[in-house]
């Protein structure tokens, strides 16, 4: 009989569920995709129901349910922190502690009540530590039999950073850095100070950093202030934060703004206000400090383990700029990063930790031809042509169904080449924060206006944000300075020199949007202002349909790259169902929508009417 383990991440942000069958991932999904609430922290009831249904089982067949951290240890950290900082923190104490006393201290009981909604039965409930869940999510699905493990995030129970050694089925922890000293919280504090939302705006800070003037006096001054006054960064990558600058330990905000304003001669930016060059320079300064910290931590991990391979997880592992520089540093022969590196990935890691450590099961060999054990991260729901027909009937939406997939690809390629934006909904939904060709919006990277169109008319987000390329894995080195797979869009690499165009005189001194709209390469829609790109390599063995589409685009247009952005608008979770996709398609200036073999064109659709402005539905991220 197969053995099943259900992993759960919940109650902080990015709740998720994942199911293993005999140690292999059957399904995994974020709760937000079902509830349509971005970063939904609630118990993943809908995601849990989905993964059980995908396996065709009910709860009594699950051997264990594994929660991704230890609540008692986290409560201990809260109490000791409030005690250590007393009398500061009373408002935060009065906000947090009653919730713990009423609910979270009784996590086992609360989980039992929630699991009862999924069905009868009382499977055993296990609680690995938070950073063990992260470490397991990094090492066990990786292609490596032995590797160093680096996990870096905001905070788990106590640990904020951990270095471990993975070998076979065993994980051995070697070093930990404890709260309140945290690289993840340091980066989030700068995210907050630059006017972006913590736990979702870190991507924006990373995307803003290349607009800073590298080597400029202000950037260097900001870095000096960070390293002299705010963080003591040690040679081994550990750090001590000057808590006089921070409010997150006991307060309801991230920073003590007066101290920061004095250090940087810059007030905290109000959300949605204009971005000045000083904000871009501050973003670059903290990005460079973060990159240096990651490099030092990685070197320590290599020295402690003697390994030539590295695996990574935790929210900071989603900093793909730092990842790219780490790869190019040569510290390791190769690195592998969990595609759901944040808290959602803790669901997979917790389940795998239970399988390999609690149950003592050995790892199975990597399947022939597989890049890793994540199955391309296509682990969510899939839908049929019958589902599409029901949607079309409900919406009275005309569409064309293609019996020949090559003919569909030809039609889509023609639309892309004409400068149209195409919603691409195929197969199983992605697990993790990136759309990887299952729930994507596509464009032609050669069109100079495509970046502006996607940001302002389809995503309705800030115009400075860059877009990622999806490139045929076989062609990646022709287009980017990258010599290996990057299937999860977690590595930033420079655009190949041969594709670049010369910059105009005084380029770095021009205002943000003048720099942005300069054509820097023959692929302007995916080339960021520093000639970088967040690369996704597309592999036939994990997503044949997407690979075939891009292959056909290359045959027709001589371009093995398409623009790939997630299928959603700002503040909305990535679409899950055909209904979600059609709604997003009609609310935006997207030109075409492909679901499976069916093509919907905007010009053919009935008028879309809503009683309220849909922008009020989603909170700005």
Q: Which residues fall within 8 angstroms of residue 83, CB to CB, at 6 or more apart? A: none
Select from 353, 373, 393 the last residue of a domain.
373
Does 134 reside within a domain?
Answer: yes
Higher pLDDT, 60 or 95: 60
- At residue 555, the 3 state secondary structure works out as helix
* 369 pLDDT above the threshold of 70: yes
Task: Give the model confidence (pLDDT) of 204-216 as tens digits.
Answer: 999 999 999 999 9
CATH of the domain at 590: 3.90.870.20
Q: What is the pLDDT of residue 152?
A: 98
Q: Examine the domain organization and report whether 27 and 84 are in the same domain.
A: yes
Query: What is the mean predicted confidence (pLDDT) over 474-503?
Result: 97
* 99 pLDDT above the threshold of 90: no
Does 191 reside within a domain?
Answer: yes
Q: What is the pLDDT of residue 193?
A: 98
Residue 502's CB: how many other CB atoms inside 10 A? 7
Handedness of CA 264, 266, 267, 270 (dihedral sign): negative
Does 535 reside within a domain?
Answer: no
Q: Examine the domain organization and report whether 450 and 503 are in the same domain.
A: yes
Calpha distance 310→166 (Å, rounded): 10
Does 491 reside within a domain?
Answer: no
Where does the pLDDT of residue 614 fall: very low under 50, low under 70, confident under 90, or very high at 90 and above? low
b/e sequence 43-72, b meaning 16+ C-beta within 10 Å: bbbbbbbbbbebbebebebbbbbbbbbbbe
- pTM above threshold 0.85: yes
Q: Examine the domain organization and report whether 227 and 266 are in the same domain.
A: yes
Where does the pLDDT of residue 186 fall: very low under 50, low under 70, confident under 90, or very high at 90 and above? very high
Does 154 reside within a domain?
Answer: no
* 319 pLDDT above the threshold of 90: yes
Across the beta sheet with 62-67, the strand order is: 24-30, 16-21, 4-9, 62-67, 124-126
CATH of the domain at 298: 3.30.420.40
The total number of residues shown for the chain amounts to 621
Cis peptide leading into residue 502 (ω within 30°) = no
Where does the pLDDT of residue 79 fall: very low under 50, low under 70, confident under 90, or very high at 90 and above? confident
Query: What is the mean predicted confidence (pLDDT) over 12-23?
Result: 96
Beta strands in 273-391 (DSSP E): 309-313, 334-337
Question: What phi and psi values does residue 192 have, to the nearest 5 degrees?
Answer: -65, -45
Query: What is the mean predicted confidence (pLDDT) over 402-420?
Result: 98
Cα angle 500, 503, 505 (rounded to 5 degrees) comes to 165
Query: Ranked by mean pLDDT, which of 99-113, 142-156, 451-465, 598-612 comes out on top?
Result: 142-156
Where does the pLDDT of residue 612 fall: very low under 50, low under 70, confident under 90, or very high at 90 and above? low
Per-chain mean pLDDT for the chain: 95
Could you report how far apart the first and last alpha carbons of the chain are, in Å? 45
Q: Tell the residue number behind the tokens 């790939």, with chain if given.
A: 564
Q: Examine the domain organization and report whether 328 and 203 are in the same domain.
A: yes
Two tokens at 171?
């994980």
Q: Examine the domain organization and report whether 39 and 71 are in the same domain.
A: yes
Least confident among 290-299, 457-466, 538-547: 457-466
Written in H, E and C, the secondary structure of 158-223 is: CEEEEEEEEECCEEEEEEEEECCCCHHHHHHHHHHHCCCCCCCCHHHHHHHHHHCCCCCHHHHHHH
Question: What phi and psi values does residue 124 have, to the nearest 5 degrees?
Answer: -65, 140
Where does the pLDDT of residue 80 fall: very low under 50, low under 70, confident under 90, or very high at 90 and above? confident
Q: What is the pLDDT of residue 81?
A: 85
Q: What is the pLDDT of residue 609?
A: 83
Q: Examine the domain organization and report whether 318 and 301 are in the same domain.
A: yes
Where does the pLDDT of residue 166 fall: very low under 50, low under 70, confident under 90, or very high at 90 and above? very high
Does 621 reside within a domain?
Answer: no
148 neighbors 126 (Cβ within 8 angstroms): no
Does 575 reside within a domain?
Answer: yes
Q: What is the pLDDT of residue 611?
A: 62
Task: Give the model confidence (pLDDT) of 544-568 as tens digits.
Answer: 999 999 999 999 999 999 999 999 9
Nearest to 154 by CA among 206, 200, 94: 200
Least confident among 45-54, 373-382, 449-458: 449-458
Q: Examine the domain organization and report whether 314 and 346 are in the same domain.
A: no
Least confident among 109-123, 161-175, 370-384: 109-123
Calpha distance 611→455 (Å, rounded): 25
Task: Give the model confidence (pLDDT) of 227-254 as tens digits.
Answer: 999 999 999 999 999 999 999 998 889 9
* 101 pLDDT above the threshold of 90: no
Where does the pLDDT of residue 87 fall: very low under 50, low under 70, confident under 90, or very high at 90 and above? confident
Q: Examine the domain organization and report whether 292 and 392 are in the same domain.
A: no
Q: Examine the domain organization and report whether 72 and 189 are in the same domain.
A: no
Q: Examine the domain organization and report whether 328 and 358 are in the same domain.
A: no
Strands 468-472 and 4-9: unpaired
Q: Examine the domain organization and report whether 119 and 203 are in the same domain.
A: no
Nearest to 353 by CA among 576, 536, 126: 126
Q: Examine the domain organization and report whether 111 and 55 are in the same domain.
A: yes
Does 159 reside within a domain?
Answer: no
Q: How many domains does the chain have?
A: 3
Strands 561-566 and 439-443: antiparallel
Query: What is the mean predicted confidence (pLDDT) over 339-355?
Result: 98
Domain that holds residue 15: 4-141+341-373
């Amino acid at each position: 009989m197969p053995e099943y383990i259900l992993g759960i991440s919940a109650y902080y942000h990015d709740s998720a569920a994942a199911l293993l069958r005999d140690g292999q991932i059957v399904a995994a999904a974020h709760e937000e995709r079902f509830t349509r609430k971005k970063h939904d922290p609630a118990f993943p009831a809908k995601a849990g129901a989905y993964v059980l249904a995908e396996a065709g089982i009910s709860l009594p067949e699950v051997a264990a349910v594994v929660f991704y951290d230890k609540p008692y240890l986290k409560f201990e950290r809260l109490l000791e922190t409030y005690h250590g900082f007393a009398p500061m923190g009373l408002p935060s104490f009065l906000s947090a502690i009653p919730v713990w006393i009423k609910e979270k201290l009784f996590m086992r009981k609360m989980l039992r009540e929630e699991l009862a909604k999924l069905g009868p039965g009382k499977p055993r409930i296990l609680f690995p530590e938070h950073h063990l869940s992260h470490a397991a999510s990094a090492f066990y699905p990786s292609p490596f039999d032995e590797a160093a493990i680096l996990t870096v995030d905001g905070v788990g129970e106590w640990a904020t950073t951990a270095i471990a050694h993975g070998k076979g089925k065993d994980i051995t922890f070697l070093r930990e850095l404890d709260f309140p000293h945290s690289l993840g919280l340091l980066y989030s504090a700068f995210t907050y100070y630059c006017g972006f939302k913590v736990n979702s705006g870190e991507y924006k800070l990373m995307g803003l950093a290349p607009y800073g003037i590298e080597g400029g006096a202000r950037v260097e001054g900001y870095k000096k202030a960070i390293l002299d006054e705010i963080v003591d960064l040690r040679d081994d990558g550990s750090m001590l934060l000057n808590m006089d600058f921070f409010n997150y330990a006991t307060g309801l905000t991230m920073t003590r703004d007066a101290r920061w304003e004095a250090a940087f001669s810059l007030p905290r930016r109000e959300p949605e206000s204009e971005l000045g060059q000083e904000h871009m320079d501050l973003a670059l300064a903290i990005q460079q400090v973060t990159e240096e910290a990651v490099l030092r931590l990685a070197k320590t991990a290599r020295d402690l383990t003697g390994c030539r391979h590295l695996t990574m997880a935790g929210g900071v592992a989603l900093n793909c700029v730092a990842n790219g520089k780490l790869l190019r540093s040569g510290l390791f022969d190769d690195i592998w990063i969990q595609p759901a590196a944040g808290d959602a990935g803790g669901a997979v890691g917790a389940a795998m930790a239970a399988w390999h450590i609690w149950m003592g099961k050995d790892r199975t060999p990597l399947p022939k031809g597989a890049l890793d054990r994540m199955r391309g991260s296509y682990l969510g729901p899939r839908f049929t042509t019958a589902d599409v027909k029901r949607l079309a009937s409900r919406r009275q939406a005309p569409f064309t169904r293609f019996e020949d997939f090559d003919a569909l690809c030809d039609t889509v390629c023609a639309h892309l080449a004409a400068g149209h934006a195409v919603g691409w909904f195929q197969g199983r939904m992605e697990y993790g924060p990136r759309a990887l060709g299952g729930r994507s919006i596509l464009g032609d990277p050669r069109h100079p206006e495509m970046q502006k169109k996607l940001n302002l008319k389809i995503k309705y987000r800030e115009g400075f944000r860059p877009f990622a390329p999806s490139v045929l894995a076989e062609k990646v080195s022709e287009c980017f300075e990258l010599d290996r797979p990057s299937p999860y869009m977690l590595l930033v690499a420079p655009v190949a020199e041969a594709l670049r165009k010369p910059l105009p005189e005084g380029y770095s001194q021009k205002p943000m949007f003048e720099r942005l709209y300069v054509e820097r390469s023959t692929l302007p829609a995916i080339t960021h202002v520093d000639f970088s790109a967040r690369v996704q390599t597309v592999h036939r063995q994990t997503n044949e349909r997407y690979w075939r589409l891009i292959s056909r685009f290359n045959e027709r247009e001589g371009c093995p790259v398409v623009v790939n952005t997630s299928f959603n608008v700002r503040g909305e979770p990535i679409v899950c169902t055909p209904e979600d996709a059609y709604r997003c398609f009609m609310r935006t200036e997207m030109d075409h929508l492909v679901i499976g073999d069916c093509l919907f064109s905007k010009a053919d659709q009935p008028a879309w009417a809503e009683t309220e402005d849909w922008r009020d539905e989603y909170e700005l991220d």
